[in-house]
Amino acid sequence: VPAGSGEFALIERHFRRLGAQRRDVSLGVGDDAALLAPPAGMQLVAALDTLVEGVHFPRSAAAASIGHRALAVNLSDLAAMGAQPAWAMLALTMPSADDAWLAEFARGFEALACAHDVALVGGDTTRGPLTVSVQVMGFVPVGAALLRSGGKPGELLCVTGTPGDAAGGLALEDARARAGDPASEYLQQRFRYPAPRCQAGVRLRGIASACIDISDGLAGDAGKLAAASGCGVRIAVEELPLSPALLATFGEDRARQLALEGGDDYELLFSIAPGRLGDAQRALSPSGIECHRIGELCESAGVHLVHGGVVTQFSAQGYDHFATG
């Protein structure tokens, strides 16, 4: 972060010491660049994501939620690679410096960074429409990263958590949900403060054959994993693990649609050899994260939704909604 004057110096004050204090940061925020010491025998894993106001988060979003989500979406990409997160860099563009907004943004970022032992090691601030770019870096033992391309036909498709909750929360945000309803509040929290599955990703090394995080919707992201693996995927719609809050708020049909098509879940979607479901569940259980089998990889390219014995093709351009069963 360059030494600025006036209001941008104020911005930089909020980010001088943010997140975990790590011994592998030889020099963090304050010089022209950071000096970092990656551990021997590890590959550096890097990801970058940009959030734009009005595109990736509502204009009404709380500053703490924006700070949290900007880091969370990136940590989720590291989780999908099986990487242990370590460092982050932040580029913040904003129309003007608002001290209270910045303090809240930093608080949201800081809480998640500390929870995952991530240090903020540098960044930049500029003036313009509100845009947040975060780069994260982490480590994985050489050759141990989880890739999208490792799946094979006949393997099981599994998902962590309960997909659809974040999309349900966003729909409620748009609909101005009734305050005080616990199910609505749970779903909105899932959109505002997604939990990246970093521990799950690390624990799935050596078990998952392929992995992706769900950012754009389960069905579409399953299609990306399958395409990268050179095969197709069948999803058993009745097997989707749905949260009680999503079911209670939206009903079964809409809940399934949100789980398949809604984005922003940041759960992990992965393939495993048949017979390894127990291994995956045992590996994840110390992290308190559940995983469920929801289908399998198949020879036939594309995304095939199986519901009530009927197979429907899913396409990102929209598809015929499955009949109610």
Q: Is 296 in the site for Mg ion (CB under 5 A)?
A: no
Q: Which is nearer to Mg ion, 28 or 82 (CB)?
A: 82
Packing angle between helix 244-261 and helix 165-175, nearest 10 degrees?
100
Residue 213 or 261 with smaller CB distance to Mg ion: 213
Choose the stretch contacting Mg ion; rule: CB under 5 A; options: 13-21, 70-78, 172-180, 242-250.
Answer: 70-78
Can you tell me the distance from the alpha carbon of 220 to that of 317, in angstroms, rounded to the nearest whole number?
10
Q: Which of 213, 261, 264, 267 binds Mg ion (CB under 5 A)?
A: 213
Considering beta carbons, is residue 74 or 188 the nearer one to Mg ion? 74
Q: Can you say how many angstroms the Cα of residue 33 is from the centroid of all Cα atoms in its chain?
A: 28
Do 38 and 127 touch, CB atoms closer than 8 A? no
Would you say 77 or 264 has its CB closer to Mg ion? Answer: 77
Nearest to 264 by CA among 214, 197, 201, 314: 214
Backbone angles phi, psi at 29, to 5 degrees: -60, 140
Q: Where are the alpha helices (DSSP H) in 233-292?
A: 244-261, 277-284
State the angle between helix axes of 99-115 and 7-14 in degrees (0 to 180), rounded to the nearest 10. 20
Least distance to Mg ion, CB of residue 291, Å: 17
Contact status: 77 vs Mg ion (CB under 5 A): yes
Q: Nearest distance from residue 303's CB to Mg ion, in Å?
A: 17
Q: Is 264 in the site for Mg ion (CB under 5 A)?
A: no
Q: State in angstroms the smallest separation of the CB of 213 from Mg ion.
A: 4
Find the helix packing angle between 63-80 and 99-115, rounded to 10°: 30
Which tokens sit at 303? Answer: 């995304």
State the nearest-atom distance from the C-beta of 88 to Mg ion, in Å: 16
Q: Which is nearer to Mg ion, 213 or 296 (CB)?
A: 213
Residue with tokens 């069963």: 325
CB of 257 to Mg ion, least distance (A): 22
Distance in Å, CB of 71 to Mg ion, minimum: 14
Rounded Cα distance between 8 and 11, Å, is: 5
Q: Does 267 bind Mg ion (CB under 5 A)?
A: no
Piece in contact with Mg ion (CB under 5 A), picked from 71-79, 83-91, 200-208, 238-246? 71-79
Of all helices (H) and strands (E), which one includes residue 61? none
* Among 74-82, 131-139, 171-179, 281-289, the segment contacting Mg ion (CB under 5 A): 74-82
What does the binding site for Mg ion look like in residue numbers (CB under 5 A)? 77, 213
